[in-house]
Structure 1
Amino acid sequence: MAARVGAVVFDVLETLLDLDPIGERLEEVGQPAAVLGPFFMRFQRDAMALTLAGEFADFTATARQALRTETRQTMSEDAIDHVLRGFAEVPAFPDAAPALSRLSEAGVPVGCLTVGDPDNTRSFLAGADLERYVDQVVTCDVVGVWKPAPQVYRYAAEALDCELGRMALVAVHAWDCHGAKKAGALAGWCSRLEGEPGEVFLPADVRGDDLLEVVDGLLALGPSST
């Protein structure tokens, strides 16, 4: 009988890659590091809003606008450039490589499901020494809409040549896991960022305090009863 999980896709920003160094770049241009959190939240919200309105949210343009707005128009374009260049240098979380390696050793295809340009994403993963574990990179740029639109998860399953119901998304964002579940995929939620997933979202199939615990839980899932 086939294993329950046929492929696993990871969210990238805040799940595999640590954005805290972006805060240091904000400080270097005269902004408080604390701007990082609300900036990234505004960036995600604005991208989702554009998707809901039927527009495609360009990663760089949306991020630039979010920075301008969150800092009350006090950043120069050069300063914004400096901050956004930091995305290419952010490190992996300590649990990222062990989790991806565990899947590779188990023979489970690994993908990344994120935003932005696929080539840039591969560069970010290479810089964090994670690219060697990743079989496919799927980004919203390719699909034409942003997560959590269901077609994003469907496209990822097709790219990994996996039935949607046997593909699992791993993320630290409960809303992303909710989107995967609504689309028909499996989900593994890591508590590192949010602590608790909240009652408004569908529960993930697996939850854990770190990515390796989540991956082990996904690998241990028994066959579906449906």
Structure 2
Amino acid sequence: MGKHVVFDVVGTLVSYSAFYDCVEKVLGPKLLAQSISPKLFGFAWLESSEREFTYLSISSRYKPYKTVFSAMFYRMLWMSGITSPRDFATDAERDEMVKSYSQLQLREGVQETFTLLREAGFEVWCLTTGDQERVLGYFKNAGVDFPQENFRSCDSRGVAKPALDAYRPLFEGFGVEEEKWFAAAHYWDVSAAKIVGFKGAYCSVYEKEDCKELFDVDMDVMADTLPEMAKKMIEA
């Protein structure tokens, strides 16, 4: 019987640290002068962009995440308390920070995680809301081999996670009797995949607090690191 595991990428296999470092470098002093935490600003920018991206998707107006992310910058400065956002920052500064999103680094233990799973007979896949070229670049830049044919982006179908139709094509493409796992560091992501039928593996490396009481779905495996999660999946 075949075994498959589908990973989320950004936030799960990839850390946001390079983006936060760039916000600190480009706007840090100016933000701090306004009593705004650069990291909290970056987080708010990411999360509000995720929301608009999702809202566009569920109202049948899907736009690539990068497009949404760039457009949301000045609004987030306003929401952070900057009264004249376009005097406070420039398009060039925004574009430098947006570009840093293509330079995110893989989390520690990704290669070990893939090796453990593959040696245990799992075929490894990825499903991301990011664009294919950018996200595959994360693996290439880290020297980690990932087969392009096992990579799926929501851009190809215009349906964003956690809409259940974002998960179904991969799930239904595997054999009925095959073992099918979805693994992520976002509880909302894994819990949605579980509704479709995947077994769920959750890693707390990003969120720390799982807030599982919100989702009414229990995980099959939970761990604090990616290699530990892989080992528990193999044992399960």
TM-score for both structures, normalised by structure 2: 0.83
The alignment's C-alpha RMSD in Å is: 2.1
CA distance in 2, matches of 1:206, 1:215: 9
* Percent identity for Structure 1 against Structure 2: 24
Are residue 181 (structure 1) and residue 194 (structure 2) matched?
yes
Pairwise mapping of residues 56-71 of structure 1 onto structure 2 (< 5 A)? 56-71=62-77
Selected match of 2:47 from 41, 45, 68: 41
Larger Rg, first or second structure (1 or 2): 2
Contact 1:157 1:164 in 2 (8 A): no
Match of 1:149 in 2: 163
Contact 1:98 1:212 in 2 (8 A): yes
Are residue 193 (structure 1) and residue 199 (structure 2) matched?
no
- After TM superposition, what 4+ stretches of structure 1 lie above 4 angstroms from structure 2? 162-165
Pairwise mapping of residues 110-125 of structure 1 onto structure 2 (< 5 A)? 110-125=124-139
Match of 1:8 in 2: 5
CA distance in 1, matches of 2:200, 2:231: 13
Contact 2:180 2:199 in 1 (8 A): yes
CA distance in 2, matches of 1:104, 1:180: 21
Match of 2:234 in 1: 219
Three-state SS of the structure 1 residue aligned to 2:27 is coil
TM-fit CA distance, 1:154: 1.4
Deviations 1:85-135 (A, max 9, x none): 112221111122211111122231111111222122211221123334776
Larger deviation: 103-112 or 131-140? Answer: 131-140
Unmatched runs of 5 consecutive residues or more in structure 1: 222-226
Match of 1:224 in 2: none
Match of 2:122 in 1: 108
Partner amino acid for 2:23? L
Larger deviation: 59-68 or 206-215? Answer: 59-68
Partner amino acid for 1:217? K
TM-fit CA distance, 1:164: 9.3
Match of 1:209 in 2: 224
CA distance in 1, matches of 2:134, 2:177: 26
Unmatched runs of 5 consecutive residues or more in structure 2: 29-37, 79-84
Three-state SS of the structure 1 residue aligned to 2:9 is coil
CA distance in 1, matches of 2:214, 2:162: 15
TM-fit CA distance, 1:163: 4.4
CA distance in 2, matches of 1:212, 1:54: 37
